[in-house]
Amino acid sequence: MIAAAGVAAAVPGQITTPVIDYRQLSPLLIVFGAALLGVLVEAFAPAAARRLTQILLAGTGFVAAFVMVVVNHSFRGLVASRAVAVDGPALFLDGTILLLALGSLLLLADRSGGNADALVADPAALPGTQEASALLASTDTVTEAFPLMSFSVGGMMLFSQSNSLLTMFVALEVLSLPLYLMAGLARRRRLLSQEAALKYFLLGAFSSAFFLYGLAMIYGFAGSVELGDIFNAAANTSKDDTFLFLGMALLLVGLLFKIGAAPFQAWTPDVYQGSPTPVTAFMSAGTKVAAFGALLRVFYVGFGDIRWDWRPIMWVVSIATMVVGAVLAITQQDIKRMLAYSSIAHAGFILVGFTATNAQGLAGTMFYLLTYGFTTIGAFAIVGLVRDGNGEATHLSQWAGLGRRAPFQAAAFAFFLLALAGIPLTSGFMAKFYVFQAAINGGAAGLVVVGVITSAITAFFYARVIVLMFFAEPVADGPVVAEASGYAAGAVGLGLAVTLVLGIVPASVMTLAHNAAVFVR
């Protein structure tokens, strides 16, 4: 006999074991299986065959996992002793993470070949030669990055669909630890990359510590770490329950660290700048989806009945995040740091949809995460192509006149910037429209006013880069724009296609998000 909670009925004298639904857990199992196989490939495969094998293994794993997400689309329930939720938001966000992982994999594959960021010894030899272009397209991303990426993707998927705070904490570590290593993989800019890895580790340690202390407080309050039990306990509590509100605050701080919200964003630009660009793109897109998925699940499922206690705090956090991201981005002279502060501002815009606390806000938030992820991967793909003798040319002054040297790459980057600014006929405009509309319907019109103002501010620094690329005189010793390999071209093309299609005909994906916007408890 099987118990209702999905656990085998207890027999006196025997250990109760959970019933595992392998079909519903198959996307996770496939990704983690591909990661384990990738470790074996690193250990035993010949060095010459390692790179292609790792690319095929990781790509096949992501595609197979996505297929199983589609196969499971109609299932709604709690599996693995109610520790993992398989519901609309979990499936939508898992699919989003896997698609973004495929885009990031293309960047990683493009930058894992060649001479490990040796580039060329003489910068004067760079302009105009095919040999320089080939060298410029390479970097130091080693093949160990592929299984690390697969482990992180599996952790992201589990993080967004955990129905138990303890499972969520384990997933947080699984997604974070590989990213700490990946951030330090750049060899040519070793000190900057290792500094980024150390700072990201410290950020992650703070996040984990706050989350774990919050978990302990909530367990002391509810006697359980399962979100459904926490919901029932919170619904029947008094307003002066210290454990509940202290635990909820600590959990919130831990999750806000992961999404890069103010005032917990301090080292995020340093991490973006120092990490290899494919890793930065993966962190910017994938981690944000997973962290917001966890934030939505914890507060909509576990604390949904006391939303009026935490909603005012989220107003303040959302406003601070939008303002800090938008204002500080104006002062940046490095393109990766500018995109980092842009990411912080977008976290604030997504929090507008979260703060609506309605099904429309949930659907809009999921749609925003999908559109933002593809746009930012495409933008970082272009950033990785602009290089000089010292590696990537990320100072804004080096991008002057880029539209004359490489019109297609400059036009593609300009289109991504317009999408990030929320210009009509781009996915960014539709995403902002949906979350702002949800906030108005949810009684948060004040947030929308701040969002519109900060959107105008962000449009200024995006437009500044576009003007610099197309209307400024090129510098004499400017960087070379490497010819995009098939992998890089695929990443840019995928980003352009999604950004354009979801800006013109977003209805089908938005309908899918609306249909998925129901949590199970």
| 27-84 residue pLDDT tens | 999 999 999 999 999 988 888 888 889 999 999 999 999 999 999 988 999 998 889 9
pLDDT of residue 137: 41
Secondary structure class of 303 (helix, strand, coil): coil
Positions in the chain whose pLDDT score sits under 50 = 1-8, 114-140
SS3 373: helix
Contact (Cβ atoms closer than 8 angstroms) between residue 196 and residue 176: no
Q: Which of 432, 446, 286 is nearest to 361 (CA)?
A: 432
Helices 165-183 & 145-160, crossing angle to 10 degrees? 150
Output helix, strand, coil percentages for the chain, rounded to the nearest 5. 70, 5, 25
Select from 109, 156, 48 the least CA-distant residue to 373.
156
pLDDT at 119: 30
- pLDDT recorded at residue 116: 37
What tens digit of pLDDT does each residue of 407-425 get? Answer: 898 999 999 999 999 999 9
307, 234 in Cβ contact below 8 A? no
Are the C-beta atoms of 348 and 325 separated by less than 8 Å?
Answer: yes
Tell me the angle at which helices 88-110 and 22-44 cross, rounded to the nearest 10 degrees: 20
Instruction: Specify the pLDDT at position 113.
Output: 56
Q: Do 355 and 439 form a contact (C-beta atoms < 8 A)?
A: yes
